[in-house]
Structure 1
Amino acid sequence: MRFTPEQLEAARDRVVPDVVAGGLRVLFCGINPGLMTAATGHHFARPGNRFWPVLHAAGFTPRRFHPAEQAELLDHGLGITNVVARPTARADELTPEEFREGGRILAEKVARLRPRWLAVAGVTAYRVAFGDKHAAIGPQERTLGETRIWALPNPSGLNAHWSLTTMAEEYGRLRAAAFGAGTAD
């Protein structure tokens, strides 16, 4: 579906519901919804975003899901939320205060839902939201209750430092930690 610039701008005020349930294996956490996500109501909806292909390539899903199929993630023990709920065209429109408040809200959400892993897709967002300046991609020492945390590369097409292959390898490390050697099924 194509949107006009006016339609995308109008989506700045929309709330994108989380895809969550209690006791998930992995709760993926984006930085914040993009305008395409806000316009469609589906997480990681921008065509250049690599979240859905990487999720499949890493073995989390049996096939490549489309953003409109996001609710099917729950059947695989997976969910999606964001650090900051406010939709923007780019993450650099967010303030450090929004990230810190988002981290606080996220910690409350994790305490309520108790996923095994919180996977933050964007190490810079994780650093600011949780005040951990030295965090690197991979598992973190910090936990939220019993929930372990993994900082993942941001799947945005703007993140050219990571190829689809290298990103899938890192996501695959998380999959192995969350599900063992097999797939999420």
Structure 2
Amino acid sequence: MDGIADVIGPGLRVLFCGINPGLMSAETGHHFARPGNRFWPALHQGGFTPRQLRPDEQQELLNYRLGITNVVERPSARADELSRAEFIAGGERLVERVLKYQPEWLAVVGVTAYRDAFGERKARMGRQERMIGSTRVWILPNPSGLNAHYTLPKLAAAFAALQEIS
């Protein structure tokens, strides 16, 4: 199983970056495809889209100047199956994509993935000091159903905070 294609192009307002494709995403070719994943509801409730998109409608994100990529391309059932080396290599590839497409914001969904990919052990949610070229960086909570600490209303509020300044 290979990774899945990015939803990306020039002129993006926000490029969302998942940790890596889950097995269902790899099978379907759609980002955040598992029914329990709260990315699509949080994206809508956070004000980025006028309605809740389905994973198979991911290309519509480009109409809203939004995109999706992943830190690590290799699919897995859980993010904790990935090695630190995969995160570091994924961070390097992510920087290349960001420099190529120059979105206004890169929003990484998962603080641990961000810390591992960029070696910033003390990074917290929200806006980061780091910039990649002219792209500002923001960390959002992981929308996976495994991240039960963040309820959908909390996730939507975190997405809304980025939406308000992007």
* TM > 0.5: yes
Aligned residue for 1:143, secondary structure, equals strand
Aligned partner (choices 93, 102, 120) of residue 114 of structure 1: 102
Q: Which residue of 2 aligns with 1:100?
A: 88
**d(CA) in 2 for partners of 1:30, 1:167:** 14
Counting aligned pairs with the same residue, the percent is: 61
Equivalent pairs, count = 166
1:72 corresponding residue in structure 2: 60
TM-score scaled to structure 2, two decimals? 0.99
C-alpha separation between the residues in 2 aligned to 1:42 and 1:141? Answer: 31
Where does residue 43 of structure 1 map in the other structure? 31
In structure 1, the gaps of 5 or more residues are: 1-12, 179-185
Deviations 1:47-66 (CA, angstroms, capped at 9, x unpaired)? 00000000000000000000
The runs of 5 or more residues in structure 2 that have no matched partner are none
Distance 1:15 1:153 in 2: 22
1:152 aligns with 2:115: no
Calculate the aligned-residue CA RMSD, in Å: 0.5
Give every structure 1 segment of 4 or more consecutive aligned residues whose post-TM-superposition deviation is greater than 6 Å.
none
Q: Give the 3-state SS of the residue equivalent to 2:16 in structure 1.
A: strand
Equivalent residue in structure 2 for 1:124, among 108, 112, 129: 112
Deviation for aligned residue 1:83: 0.2
1:89 maps onto 2:41 in alignment: no
**Corresponding residue for residue 29 of structure 1:** 17
Q: Which has the larger radius of gyration?
A: 1
Amino acid at match of 1:163: T
- Normalising to structure 1: TM-score of the pair? 0.89
| Corresponding position of 2:40 | 52
